[in-house]
Amino acid sequence: MAGPTIAFLVFDGLTPLDFVGPFEVLSRLPGAFTRIVSPTGGDILAAGGRLRIGADVALDEIDAADVLVVPGGPGARTLMHDDAVTAWVARVAAGARFTASVCTGALILGGAGLLNGREAATHWAARPLLAEFGATPVARRIVDHGSVLTAAGVSAGIDLALLLAAHIAGEDVARAIQLRIEYDPQPPFDSGAVEKASPAIRDLAATVG
């Protein structure tokens, strides 16, 4: 049996972990066929130009996937208003079993009309921006609407991808992937959620973006 085709949108201004967290998990699904999709098919520059990542295909070379993953990053604030990108996301999402965003990738799903009237997760600092797309931001790690899922910021894509892996291939496979990537998190600090961080840490966080 053929495994799932999983398309990952990548773009200039991507936050690398938004993409690589889910890629690391989902590319391990049995038979997974991954497609890294950039607007032009060329390499993209992530992390403020510090990291170059190759793409497999351009937007106009692929119009279907079983799973579509849309990561975020500063570039998402441009793409959410880019008609070619949002139309592509809407088209692929219409035929996909699952469409998932990480971080400000939710803004691109919003631009594609996928979050209208729905609760959604995104990076805590971007929550107010969801209103433009008729979505209600919620302070949750993952919001699962069945075919459309949204995750909170950056590292939340790993949690979302494990949930997706279970939806696609069953809980045992998801657990096996979790073990393989030794995802037994032990953060040395506990300031990973805006509700837990002090005002001083929140201010400082604006400088490490």
Nearer to its own copies, 1 or 200 (CB): 200
Min CB(91)–its own copies separation in Å: 24
Q: Which two tokens stand for residue 44?
A: 């993209």
Nearer to its own copies, 81 or 196 (CB): 196
Binding site for its own copies (CB under 8 A): 15-17, 20-21, 23-24, 27-30, 34, 36, 43, 47, 50-54, 103, 123-124, 141-142, 152-156, 158-159, 162-163, 166, 171-189, 191-194, 196-197, 200-202, 204-205, 207-209
| 71 closest CA partner among 202, 162, 160 | 160
Q: Which two tokens stand for residue 112?
A: 């594609």
Min CB(118)–its own copies separation in Å: 20
Cβ-count burial 64-93 (b if 16+ within 10 Å, e if not) = ebbbbbbbbbebbeebbebeebbebbeebb
Nearer to its own copies, 44 or 109 (CB): 44
For the chain, helix (H) and strand (E) counts, in that order, are 7, 11
Min CB(97)–its own copies separation in Å: 18
Q: Are 3 and 170 in contact (CB under 8 A)?
A: no
Min CB(113)–its own copies separation in Å: 25
Token pair 């073990």 is at which residue? 179
Q: Of 53, 76, 103, 112, which is the active-site residue?
A: 103
Q: Which two tokens stand for residue 137?
A: 């931001």
Nearer to its own copies, 113 or 192 (CB): 192
Instruction: Answer yes or no: 103 catalytic.
Output: yes
Q: Where are the alpha helices (DSSP H) in the chain?
A: 16-26, 76-79, 83-95, 105-111, 156-169, 171-180, 199-205
First and final C-alpha spacing in the chain: 43
Nearer to its own copies, 86 or 157 (CB): 157
Min CB(154)–its own copies separation in Å: 4
Enclosing H/E stretch for 144: strand 142-144
Q: Mind telling me the catalytic residues?
A: 103
